[in-house]
Amino acid sequence: MLRDAHNRTIRDLRISLTDRCNFRCFYCLPNGEPPLARKETILTFEEIAYLSEIFVSLGIEKIRLTGGEPLIRKDVPSLVRELAKLKPSLHDLALTTNGFDFPRHAAALKEAGLDRVTLSLDSLDRDKFLDITGVDALDKVYKSIEAAKELGFDPVKINACVVRGRNDDELVDFARFAREYAISMRFIEFMPLDSGHEWSRDLVVSGKEIYAAINAVFPLRLKETSRGSETSWKYEFADGSPGEIGIIAPVTEMFCGACSRIRLTADGQIRTCLFSTTEHNLRDVLRSGASREEIIQFIEDVVMKKEPRHYINDAEFTPASRTMSFIGG
């Protein structure tokens, strides 16, 4: 098992397939950024599959494919098929997508062995959705949710980044949406990871505020007394209605003490924390002709450097070295 210097077991690997995205969400990539060089920089699917096998041999149990928008990469189902070969040691293989092009790939992804899908949906209002994402694609996300449910992805999770003055007036509507469609609706506090560097603590809607707004209309009941190494507190509706509410509060209720995650960027850098200011170049180690044993030693050494916590709430906080689109969510 991979363990860091703080005795946390690392079980969850997030792999970014690309830094590119066809949305321009204000909380992530509003201005766009020059994409990474392609062939010379981005990990190939063969390299990702090889490194994933090593990570799983070291105790990684969950892999999530992210971006940017991962489905911008061609033939993602072929990568999923290779990663699915790591089961049953790999317990969970998931994908996070903005839903723009998911229906076209959904059946192939399911057939290839994808277990779960998480879709981003920051507003139920078309004009607000356009304002937040820069793209008039709300209908596409709705179709993606329908496709995921029809194909039997379970659970279907929907992420919404909640920002004061932008979509915090839709919390109850989102909860109603979760009930009607029997989905897991997850609310995430606004984090300082935007390329526009416009994050402000005043814009953060706390997890407690999110809970209070929903609970006042649809009483909630905590599903488990501990979230373990999960990022969200999970709630069910007290009246027995279908659907689930998840609240992820990294700013106001940090969960670093139980963190089990590391990240591999599209260009092969290991990030030990979402807010790391340093990265560790696994790509160059791999491409240097290093043996499997040398790669394992590099990974184990990097994991030992995992930060004890993030420093968002410290006066001397320094933003992450790259924005969310480059890091992988």
State pLDDT tens for residues 17-70.
998 888 888 788 766 665 665 668 899 999 999 999 999 999 999 999 998 899
Encode 130-160: b = buried (16+ Cβ within 10 Å), e = exposed. Answer: eebbbbebbeebeebbebbeebebebbbbbb
Q: What is the pLDDT of residues 210-241, one digit of tens each?
A: 999 999 999 999 998 776 667 789 999 999 99
Q: Report whether pLDDT(326) > 80.
A: no
Instruction: Let me know: does 195 contact 29? Beta carbons within 8 Å.
Output: yes
pLDDT band at 319 (very low <50, low <70, confident <90, very high): low
Instruction: Give the pLDDT score at 305.
Output: 94
What is the end-to-end Cα distance of the chain in Å, rounded? 23
Q: Report whether pLDDT(147) > 70.
A: yes
Residue span of the structural domain in which 145 resides = 2-327
The two tokens of residue 36 are: 């990474």
Share of the chain above pLDDT 90, in %: 73
Instruction: Give the pLDDT score at 312.
Output: 72
Number of domain units in the chain: 1
Across 178-187, average pLDDT: 96
Point out the least confidently predicted range of 148-152, 183-187, 201-205. Answer: 201-205
Domain of 218, CATH number, reads: 3.20.20.70
The secondary structure element, H or E, covering residue 46 is helix 45-57
Q: Report whether pLDDT(195) > 60.
A: no
Instruction: Give the pLDDT score at 35.
Output: 63
Write the burial class of residue 86 (CB in 10 Å: 0-12 exposed, 13-18 middle, 19+ buried): buried
Point out the least confidently predicted range of 72-76, 284-288, 305-309. Answer: 305-309
Share of the chain above pLDDT 70, in %: 89
Which amino acid, one-letter code, is at 93? L
Across 250-272, average pLDDT: 88
